[in-house]
Structure 1
Amino acid sequence: MSTETVRTHLFIDGGWRESAGTETIPVISPLTEERIGSVPEASVDDVDAAVAAARAAYRSGWRDLSHAERAAHLRRFADELESRAEERARTVTSENGMPIALARFAEGQAPVQLLRYYADLIEATPAEEERTSTPLPGTTIVRREPVGVVGAIAPWNFPAVLSMFKIAPALAAGCTVVLKPSPETSADSYVLAEAAIAAGLPSGVLNIVNGGTEIGQYLVAHPQVDKVAFTGSTAAGRQIGRVCGELIRPVTLELGGKSSALILDDADLEQTVAGLASASLLNSGQTCYMSTRILVPESRYDNYVDAITAMSSSLPIGDPMDENVAVGPLASERHRNRVLSMIDRGRNDGGTVTTGGGRPADFDRGFFVEPTVFAGIDNSASIAREEIFGPVLTVIAYDGLDEAISIANDSSYGLGGTVWTTDPDRGVDVARRVETGSFGVNYYNLDWGSPFGGVKESGVGRELGPEGLAAYQSLKSIFLPA
């Protein structure tokens, strides 16, 4: 996308279709702040067509394929995406500023791995099982059936892989999908569509409609959608949850986070701070599970502030296509301005900025924000309580392990978190006490085979693992007499 790339069609019912509307969505480079492309904005008529195509594909055979047949489709889809992995990674980097070294895995290879994981899983999962009836004699057949048409809404921070969190298990289960990408990152979904066509994915099984909030709201409330899967902000998740609750419609919500890194008194300073570069600042902090509240024993506070400051200030900033860059621009001007406003609030709350605090001096364009560290602040400050979604860390002192865990749990969120210690057993004990959906001991990384999701305002439901497949299945019990 080094030159302007103009897309003129939507992917609906297995092919390219002109939008019924006339509006377009610009693709803006976060590096140059210039327009580098555009995609058509879907109208409500386009959403109707996409949902109708998904409904027809579901009823006409996709749900009735054997698990092995669907697995074969997913593997062909994975092969085609793998052949386009570099193209997709570079497209995402052009759209949202993700460092290319990260994008090659997260946006190029990870969606391929997820398709293959769910192909293997569905092939090994029986559609039915028999159970001995209780209390009366007899047999019950417990059957797993697909829920139907899925409205999937993906965010802009990891658009390719977080779309596939939904697409892969849904298709494996026998559902069909209408995907709405974020308007900031719609271009990479065209690579996804091209792979689906090349793989021979049946028409209507996957459909893609571009649009903003209004199109998302229309899709969520559509009468022919059977389930909604959403990743994004807690504010938007609340609205979606209200609609799905009113409609008695199943929904999976993966929302915001304000996770803690609990550094115990026995932690190795050098190894811990090196690990925090990924656990707290991955993708310029635009990652929902980042450990951005760093809790440090009072006795070691100054040493850790100095070390975290040095680590943050040493991260290379620049062109995200550069293999050596760790911090690219933020995804949009609006988001950069929000992050900068949160940094100003941190100063107003009495926090001390030990590094960063604004735009890098050497960059006269691009949506950049320096990695920023706040010290001298407690957990009551707004920057310690609100999700910033940028490269901003707060270092908070604690006195004793019980207080550390209390601070970690004193949050409306509960998505991720880490503990840092030379005693892994002690770390696991801490993990058990923190109110969160996932937690890492001396590192943090997602496992395709294990559930991911949050508690409290971080969401409802789970993605990944067998639990992620189950989210797209409905259970039916068939009772048989003895």
Structure 2
Amino acid sequence: MIELHDDVYIDGRWRPSKSERRSPIFNPATGEIWANVPDGNTEDIDNAVAAARRAFPGWAATPAEERAGMLRLLADQIDARSDALSNCITTENGTPISETRSAPGYGAAHLREVASLAHLLTEEDKRSNPLSSGSSLVRRHPLGVAGLITPWNFPLGLIIVKLGPALLAGCTVVLKPAPETPMAARMLMEAIEATGFPPGVVNMVTGSAEAGSALVEHPRVDKISFTGSTDVGRMIGASCGRLLRPATLELGGKSPAIVLDDVDTSVLAANILKVSMRNTGQTCKACTRLLLPAHRHDELLELVAEVVSSAPLGDPFDPATFFGPLVSERQRQRVLGYMEIGAAEGAKAVVGGGLPAGLQRGFYVEPTVFRDVTPGMRIAQEEIFGPVLAVIPYSDVDEAVAIANDSPFGLAATVFGADIDRARNVADRLDTGNVGINHYGSNAAAPFSGHKASGLGTEFGPEGLSQYLTYTSIHFPN
């Protein structure tokens, strides 16, 4: 039975959408429609922004520790819905249940970590003036109404990493989740409602292009935070620049994994899937360029190919599955197109390269490893967002660093090596916002940001909180 929903969440309650359009939600494992939600319009966004604007003075005036307490209560509500949320995510975007089982707990933990930063908003910040006898008192204020636009690949976690700091800062929020994956966001609104946030503090409109554009361009929105493709991010950034509106843009990547010649092969084998092909390759941080030392190339390629070909592909609700379906037929065609491009460019698929046998239903592709890749090939330069790994040989560490940095992107990287100091020295030379040493690196307390075409601004930690604040300095003569 198809779940039918005609409402959006505005001003603390579910209300009928003003749009007559509806968006079908597909189960990527079967290709069948399982839900239907409003494709919100400009009027829905207007109503949501108006509610957020009305709620802003009261929420901004609420003591920071009370706002932090609400985040902790929301974390409890998410924990209580853990099974339902993980099942929902797997159903709406095909992420294997082995991954989504940890998503609610990660989101709840992230909210608690954000709540622990409340003291940064209350501690007096008085600074002496080095050029005179005076001093200054620095005040932090919430920016206002924040528009949050989130993607489909991690439809709960990537909302929470924006929602938590925005709310702690004292901003009110209008959320627009990806049109492919609105159902986990709807469940999150139920948790918001149960937590008891004041009406209008958090609002959500499901929808696609019209709703997103209306939110970005709305004259009463004070901040935009977007995660998604670089192309869309450029358009949002252009709009925010014209409007002189702060924006955080977490965009695409084509990240490298550099394998040093002293690598512990057991560490490489244990971590390469998560580093390069997490969530069936639909991860912005995925290190999909694998750089191998030329004198160990064939040996290490054979190891990686064996690991990838042995990872189970199939039903995302099977706990053993590592590779599930892609999110949509459109995404599958994109990935298949890049496989054809790679072959045409002269790369050779040593694993995969097309459609898997025995999976006629759903949006599946074969996990693929290409060898004979050169750094200038499109499969080595463009973000594919699927389970496609491009293997590139290098002669020495200087060349490896040069290849790694020869990219329009700079979101993430991994360095594999037994000598941690040597690996860290290589990491220091990479033009990227995040580097893992021998693993998939991330830390909710440390800044997450992209260089170059991978984005603007920062998420996570105190730096992420600062993205929702504006500052006033009060100057005293002595």
TM-score (norm 1): 0.98
Match 1:183 to one of 179, 183, 193? 179
Q: Mind listing any 5+ residue stretches in structure 2 that lack a counterpart?
A: none
Match 2:257 to one of 254, 257, 261? 261
How far apart, CA to CA, are the structure 2 residues paired with 1:31 and 1:151?
31
Matching residue's letter, 1:425: D
Q: Look up the match of 2:82.
A: 85
Q: Tell me how far 1:273 sits from its aligned partner.
A: 2.6
How far apart, CA to CA, are the structure 2 residues paired with 1:327 and 1:364?
15
Aligned residue for 2:224, secondary structure, equals strand
Maintained 8 Å contact 1:128/1:144: no
Q: Look up the match of 1:342.
A: 338
Q: Look up the match of 1:69.
A: 66
Asked if 1:219 corresponds to 2:215, the answer is yes
Q: Tell me how far 1:124 sits from its aligned partner.
A: 5.1
Aligned length: 478
User: Where in structure 2 are the equivalents of 1:91-110 lying within 5 Å?
Assistant: 91-106=88-103, 108-110=104-106
Q: Tell me how far 1:43 sits from its aligned partner.
A: 1.5
Q: Tell me how far 1:269 sits from its aligned partner.
A: 2.1
User: Where in structure 2 are the equivalents of 1:190-229 lying within 5 Å?
Assistant: 190-229=186-225
Asked if 1:327 corresponds to 2:328, the answer is no
How far apart, CA to CA, are the structure 2 residues paired with 1:351 and 1:269?
24
Matching residue's letter, 2:449: G
How far apart, CA to CA, are the structure 1 residues paired with 2:462 and 2:388?
34
Q: Tell me how far 1:341 sits from its aligned partner.
A: 0.2
Aligned residue for 2:324, secondary structure, equals coil
The superposition leaves residues 379-398 of structure 1 with CA deviations (integer Å, 9 ceiling, x where unpaired) of 11100000001000011000
Q: Tell me how far 1:134 sits from its aligned partner.
A: 3.1
How far apart, CA to CA, are the structure 2 residues paired with 1:442 and 1:101?
21
How far apart, CA to CA, are the structure 1 residues paired with 2:374 and 2:154?
30
Match 2:272 to one of 250, 273, 276? 276
How far apart, CA to CA, are the structure 2 residues paired with 1:87 and 1:204?
25
The superposition leaves residues 342-377 of structure 1 with CA deviations (integer Å, 9 ceiling, x where unpaired) of 000000000000011111111111101111000011
How far apart, CA to CA, are the structure 1 residues paired with 2:5 and 2:272?
39
Maintained 8 Å contact 2:40/2:208: no
Maintained 8 Å contact 2:121/2:140: no
How far apart, CA to CA, are the structure 1 residues paired with 2:37 and 2:140?
38
Maintained 8 Å contact 2:435/2:441: no
Q: Tell me how far 1:136 sits from its aligned partner.
A: 2.0
How far apart, CA to CA, are the structure 1 residues paired with 2:196 and 2:155?
23
Aligned residue for 2:147, secondary structure, equals strand
Matching residue's letter, 1:65: T
Match 1:359 to one of 355, 359, 363? 355
Q: Tell me how far 1:120 sits from its aligned partner.
A: 1.3
How far apart, CA to CA, are the structure 1 residues paired with 2:110 and 2:22?
31
Q: Tell me how far 1:127 sits from its aligned partner.
A: 5.4
Matching residue's letter, 1:14: G
How far apart, CA to CA, are the structure 2 residues paired with 1:180 and 1:20?
15
How far apart, CA to CA, are the structure 1 residues paired with 2:140 and 2:84?
37
User: Where in structure 2 are the equivalents of 1:7-406 lying within 5 Å?
Assistant: 7-59=5-57, 61-106=58-103, 108-123=104-119, 125-126=121-122, 128-406=124-402
Maintained 8 Å contact 1:127/1:145: no
Matching residue's letter, 1:269: T
Q: Tell me how far 1:308 sits from its aligned partner.
A: 1.2
How far apart, CA to CA, are the structure 2 residues paired with 1:4 and 1:315?
32
The superposition leaves residues 293-313 of structure 1 with CA deviations (integer Å, 9 ceiling, x where unpaired) of 000011011111211111111
Q: Tell me how far 1:111 sits from its aligned partner.
A: 1.4
The superposition leaves residues 273-323 of structure 1 with CA deviations (integer Å, 9 ceiling, x where unpaired) of 321111001000000011110000110111112111111111101111111
- Tell me which stretches of 4 or more aligned residues in structure 1 moved more than 3 Å: none
Matching residue's letter, 1:99: P
How far apart, CA to CA, are the structure 2 residues paired with 1:113 and 1:201?
19
Q: Tell me how far 1:145 sits from its aligned partner.
A: 0.7
Q: Look up the match of 1:456.
A: 452
How far apart, CA to CA, are the structure 2 residues paired with 1:241 and 1:464?
20
